[in-house]
Amino acid sequence: MTPAMKLDNTNRYFSATEQSQDKESIICYAVVKEGDDDILYIYLVDCESKTFFPEFWKPEELGFQIFGEEKPVLLYSGFPDVFMMASFKKVK
């Protein structure tokens, strides 16, 4: 697993209308050299999306469990390759 960091004041629901009771979440990150570029990858592995991309996060319709019982909930699910990732390229 890549390095991880705990965040202590997050809305794990990714929702503008609902706030999660649990405010602690975990992200993973990696800094990778790709040619001359430095790329920062952020992996959101501990969220329970309620309104962001809702057609994807419906486990009852997909036939498997997306959110696991222990943190990080996306890595300890029945389908551990599901996570959100963002990448950032360092400006030179």
Q: Please give the distance of CA 20 from its chain centroid, rounded to a whole number.
A: 15
Identify the CA nearest to 84 among candidates 7, 14, 9, 5.
14
Q: Please give the distance of CA 87 from its chain centroid, rounded to a whole number.
A: 13
The pLDDT value recorded for residue 62 is 57
Tokens of 40: 């920062």
The pLDDT value recorded for residue 12 is 86
What's the farthest any 2 CA atoms get from each other in the chain? Answer: 46
pLDDT per residue over 69-87, tens digit each? 677 767 665 555 667 889 9
Query: What are the domain boundaries of the chain?
Result: 4-89
The pLDDT value recorded for residue 13 is 84
pLDDT per residue over 10-65, tens digit each? 998 888 898 989 898 888 899 999 999 999 999 888 887 777 766 666 655 655 55
